[in-house]
Amino acid sequence: MPQVVGALDPQTLQLGAAIRAARLAKAFTLVELARLSNLSHPFLSQLERGHARPSMASLERIARALETSQLDLLAGAADFDATDAWGEVTVSAHGRSAPRVETRAHVVRASEGTRGPYAEGQGRLLVDARARFQPMDFTASNAGFGDFYHHAEDEFVTVIAGGVVVDLSGDGEFVLAAGDSVYYQGGTAHRWRSLDSGAYRLLIVKQRL
């Protein structure tokens, strides 16, 4: 088992490195991220180095400030080589030093895939972080709309089960039943809710830039 310098554990180091990478991709300083997430600058600095572990509430604030989701950050951490960010240690998603093996195919079994909170429900990613697009199996039952999400990537949504109302800010609301789909360009503010307060299931495919 390799030593993780100053970090709580390999997984925490990977999550911190993934958050740092997402912050730098937005060209935010730590001070800017602290202001946008309403979290302290010292805490974020410790978090990025794997010296602190965020609560799910803190991770949600960070994700929204970075215009992403908790699940995206967790997925990035699961496939992140911490050496890329800090040069301290190479860790795999299972906490072992491991070389990256490039293959042309990647199978995700029904019991696999990074899982975590997404919007008002739960998501399961169906590919790893190297894929050129990001399909997600999403389930929820929220009767009310949550906050709007918007991101630079285009997105495609199809309803697998149940019914939903999709609110595309500026473009109206659309009622979708099982088998219906919607596609919207990056930058479109969007949110959705259950049509009848029952559970629903979506396949969400987001472009990777």
| Position 65 confidence tier, pLDDT thresholds 50, 70, 90 | very high
Is it the case that residue 55 has pLDDT exceeding 60? yes
What integer is the mean pLDDT of 129-148?
Answer: 90
- What was the pLDDT predicted at 68? 86
Average pLDDT of the residues of the chain? 85
Sequence-distant (≥ 6) Cβ neighbours of residue 157 within 8 angstroms = 166, 176, 181, 182, 183, 192, 202, 203, 204, 205
- What was the pLDDT predicted at 139? 97
What integer is the mean pLDDT of 32-57?
Answer: 93
Q: What percent of the chain has pLDDT over 70?
A: 85
- What was the pLDDT predicted at 88? 42
- What was the pLDDT predicted at 92? 39
For the record, the structure tokens of 39 come out as 């979290």
Averaging pLDDT over each range in 9-18, 85-94, 114-123, 171-180, which range is the top one?
A: 171-180
- Model pTM score: 0.76
Domains of the chain by range and CATH? 10-86 (1.10.260.40), 115-207 (2.60.120.10)
Is it the case that residue 78 has pLDDT exceeding 60? yes
